[in-house]
Amino acid sequence: GARQQSELCNESLMLEKLPACGKSFEEMMKKVDSKKWCNLTEFITYYDNFTQCTEREANNASCFWPNPLAEGFITGIHKQFFSNCTSEKVHWEDPPDEILITLILIPVMLTCAMITLVVWCSKRSDIL
């Protein structure tokens, strides 16, 4: 996609060729148990082949890759195979009150102790 394109993008040719990439990916995904479709390690090679195919077809049609049309096609494939794969959102909770109070009080107490030590030492500078 980084090389300069001397010709205009032939979008219709690209759209004609991309379904072959999708069909090939679909055939390869039949080898994977559908329960494992959300585990990328199970089909990463197939997905890499699919990505390279879409890039190759876009470049053969003198189109940059990715482009909006290719992205739309890839999104369609994602919806077909990965629509049930949702990332689990982390639910953040505050720690228990005892831990939270300890985590707040330790720096406060250390700060107070350091201030007290500095003031005490500054008043006793004649002895030190």
27: CATH: 1.10.150.510
Tell whether the model's pLDDT for residue 26 goes beyond 50.
Answer: yes
Q: Can you tell me the mean pLDDT for 82-106?
A: 85
Whether residue 60 is contained in a domain is answered as: yes
Q: Are residues 15 and 70 in the same domain?
A: yes
Residues sharing a CB contact under 8 Å with residue 54, sequence separation 6 or more, in sequence order: 18, 21, 65, 70, 73, 74
The reported pLDDT for the residue numbered 1 is 44
Whether residue 4 is contained in a domain is answered as: no
Tokens of 84: 């049930």
Q: Which of 4-13, 32-41, 77-86 has the lowest mean pLDDT?
A: 4-13
Whether residue 74 is contained in a domain is answered as: yes
Percent of the chain predicted with pLDDT > 90: 69
pTM to 2 decimal places: 0.61
Beta strands in 2-111 (DSSP E): none
Q: How many domains does the chain have?
A: 2
The reported pLDDT for the residue numbered 128 is 55
Q: Are residues 61 and 123 in the same domain?
A: no
